Homo-oligomer: A and B are copies of this chain.
């Protein structure tokens, strides 16, 4: 619960009156340090974060330091806490990180697949009625040349109709690890009657939720090439007057949603579990945008604040189409009551204001915006090239 979404969700769930038990092994802090960067927002050590929450919420908040790849730890925490819902955000979350070299690929797939297997075994043995909310990614689907359904599609093949899982065309070792997990979780539901919601989430942006009103409640905010995502990175670039860097033609289209709305969606899912044995897939995003359109938006809003942003186009190191068809369903969460509460322009404006406070912290790690993982090269270390942009490491 020490990460970007985990911390924000813990704050929300506590504010809603729910009891929260957090787990973290602090791998995100270590990995961002490994690539030479840090959070733009100076987040507190976990002990201080917890003491702030405990003052407000008493024993409704608990926390265990540990690693899901350790079966004993996972069994122990889940067995003792007896959760109604398990929100599994504990995966290595960066596509570029998984593409750095062989050891990062192995780490990503091993950490994600083994951690998730341990969670579902712990559920089966100690909390079989819990609802597993697992964070997948819209990136599992890739960019197929047809509409993207929510998890499943009906097809006709040689005269027979059948409902099949929507095909996955993932584009990194990280994204494939999430596909492996989706497959494993779906099988666990069938095998043992567990229930799960697999969230295909779009790219999340923003610094704020209703609960993040003071500095000491800030969630982390990554802007480096490996862990920062596209809108967040453009805003950080604008704040230090670094060019907003667009890969190739900039026609890459994805689904996006504000941090506040991501937290809203997850809270809705927590309150609305599926039936026992059901494996449910939701596509969790608000609007689709092209990357070039996002750069234009950030520039326009930054310019109004006197930041004078430039846009720079760079060669694309990723394995992805730069112009493509993209139309994804996202009806399931709306049916459960989700309504977007943030307009992207307002959120960009708030982010720029928030990040200007930490301009020096961003400037200090400026170099880490301009290192580049060459996906096709699979080189044995992070290579410095120039001004990269990460479209999505969701």
Contact = CB atoms under 8 A, between A and B. Distances in A.
Given A113-B109, A114-B110, A121-B102, A187 B183 contact: no
Interface in A89-122: 102-103, 105-106, 109-110, 113-114, 117-118, 121
A176 B187 CA distance: 9
Interface string A2-25: 000000000000000000000000
B144 A162 contact: yes
Interface in A144-158: 144-147, 149, 153, 155-158
A82 to B, nearest CB: 19
Given A146-B158, A147-B157, A113 B180 contact: yes
B162 A164 contact: no
B117 A375 contact: no
Contacts of A36: none
Nearest to A377: B192
A102 to B, nearest CB: 5
Contact of A378 (B144, B157, B158, B192): B192
Contacts of A164: 144, 167
Given A114-B110, A117-B105, A155 B156 contact: yes
Given A71-B106, A113-B180, A162 B191 contact: no
A170 interface: yes
A187 B139 CA distance: 14
B155 A155 contact: yes
A249 interface: no
Interface string A160-174: 101011011010010
Contacts of A117: 102, 105-106, 109, 173
A190 interface: yes
Interface in A165-203: 165, 167-168, 170, 173, 176, 179-180, 183-184, 187, 190-192
A376 interface: yes
Given A105-B117, A176-B187, A146 B167 contact: no
Given A106-B118, A146-B160, 18 more contacts: A102-B117, A109-B117, A109-B184, A144-B162, A144-B164, A146-B158, A146-B162, A155-B155, A155-B156, A165-B167, A165-B168, A176-B180, A176-B184, A176-B187, A180-B183, A190-B319, A191-B376, A192-B376
Interface pairs A-B: 4 shortest CB-CB: A164-B167, A146-B160, A155-B155, A180-B180
26 contacts: A71-B103, A102-B118, A102-B121, A105-B117, A106-B117, A106-B118, A109-B117, A110-B113, A113-B113, A113-B180, A124-B378, A144-B162, A146-B158, A146-B160, A146-B162, A147-B158, A147-B160, A155-B155, A155-B157, A173-B187, A176-B183, A176-B184, A179-B183, A191-B319, A191-B376, A192-B376
